[in-house]
Amino acid sequence: MTLLYFIIAISLLVVIHEFGHFWVARRCGVQVLRFSVGFGKPFWSFTDKLGTEYAIAPIPLGGYVKMLDEREAPVPEHLLDQAFNRKSPWARIAIASAGPVANFIFALLAYWLLFVSGTSGVVPVVGTVADDSVAAVAGVRSGDEIVAINDHDTTTWQEVSWQLVGFLGEDADIRMTLKGADGTQRSTQLQLQDWLAHQEVPDPLSGLGIEPRRLDVPAVVGEVQPGGAAAAAGLQAGDRVVAVNGTDIADWYDWVEHVRAAAGVEQLLTLERDGEWINVVLTPGSKTLDDGSVIGYVGAGVVAPEIPEGWLRTSHAGIFQGLWLSVNKTTDLIVFTLDSLWKMLLGDVSVKNLSGPITIAKVAGASASGGLEAFIGFLALLSISLGVLNLLPVPMLDGGHILFYLVEVVRGRPLPERVQIIAVQLGLFLLLSLMLVAFYNDISRL
């Protein structure tokens, strides 16, 4: 299912991207030879009255638009005015920009749909605050609700995290508005210095020393991963962990702490199974964290409890308010993506945050399992990332072509062919390097 949702996400967004190029090319008078959904030899196609072939190909990882162009094949004289390379630089800029713009429009419409239909999330109430942490020094207390960050309302934990991620790698003072358990509000300042700059997977909440309030989760096994330590010990779905080495286990979190502290150390588990108590021997495997520390790991999942209604907050926007919110959301994400890339170039944020297709596939599957709202939100975010990356001024990308055409506007003639070839080779090298880093990050996370 993860692979299926990955294919759906990538195919949909790339087709939207290519449709942007197609739509503007048609209106600029360029002959589009083929619009293909998928790659490879088409297994179905038809040609319209304007000479464009619409095709479906067997490799479902996107699509492409092929235009009439003298640089690719000879063009009959009576069709020269429809060739892409014969169009003005401004027309070519419009065509090259249309793909990323289509991705942004899709994201805007997706967020508009979500805001109007209603979005839900968990109310941001603090569970615990780590001693001597940034939050503790600022006076954040257990039971506080985070109402706003720098005057931006935060009605859910998602919004809290979104407001915080913009400060990664920075020195900054954050103004946080809190509502105590008694209903009174107060403000406090959180001081950040080089905040989470070099962490591979920065967690804004734990970086402040904040843990959200927890549900009561009994130590009942929901699933057992094949080949893991739990499977080797004979644990089964539905087992309740009663004790470890004779010490009673209060809940799932308690058992997790025992497992994490016992990498490679044999444990005697007392389980309740079908109303009977049994003993099994479990030896946790080990997992190395980013900081080099080693923790225990057994490969068992929890039975997810239902979130109480009082812990959830749902908001609905009107048609026009939803449109305004979606414009702001899309704009904020475009700026955030560019800012994150800039911080990576400066070294303020680790390049280990780059992700490739494996991570995208995992997130696609996870968001789809979270429901339609989560999957649409993931598609919108991925569409914005695709649009921004394609607008970077790197040859081989839309942004690189736009840069060439802008230089042509200034010079009054195109760049020399040799310069363009060298630039394209450099762009190809940069893209391959970026892909290698992303693949390496994906594999290291596995």
* 207-224 pLDDT per residue, tens: 899 999 988 889 999 999
User: Six-digit token pair at 35?
Assistant: 């619009």
**Comparison of pLDDT for 225 and 354, the residue scoring more:** 225
Whether the per-residue pLDDT at 280 is higher than 90: the answer is yes
User: Six-digit token pair at 258?
Assistant: 């025992």
Look at residue 232 in the predicted model and tell me its pLDDT: 92
Per residue in 262-273, pLDDT tens?
A: 999 999 999 999
- Residues 273 and 267: their CA atoms lie apart, in Å, by 18
- Residues 232 and 29: their CA atoms lie apart, in Å, by 66
Same topology between domain 119-215 and domain 221-306: yes
Average pLDDT, the chain: 88
Look at residue 281 in the predicted model and tell me its pLDDT: 94
Q: Which pLDDT band, with edges at 50, 70 and 90, does 7 fall under?
A: confident
Whether the per-residue pLDDT at 446 is higher than 70: the answer is no
Look at residue 247 in the predicted model and tell me its pLDDT: 92
Q: Which pLDDT band, with edges at 50, 70 and 90, does 290 fall under?
A: low
Mean pLDDT of 103-122: 93
Q: Which pLDDT band, with edges at 50, 70 and 90, does 345 fall under?
A: confident
Backbone angles phi, psi at 284, to 5 degrees: -60, 140
Asked if 246 and 268 touch (Cβ cutoff 8 Å), the reply is yes
Whole-prediction pTM: 0.79
Percent of the chain's residues with pLDDT above 70:
98
Lowest mean pLDDT among 134-148, 227-241, 296-310: 296-310
Mean pLDDT of 332-360: 79
**221-306 belongs to which homologous superfamily?**
PDZ domain (2.30.42.10)
Whether the per-residue pLDDT at 445 is higher than 70: the answer is no
Active site residues: 18
Can you give the residue ranges of every domain in the chain? 119-215, 221-306
**119-215 belongs to which homologous superfamily?**
PDZ domain (2.30.42.10)
Per residue in 161-190, pLDDT tens?
A: 888 888 888 888 999 999 998 889 999 999
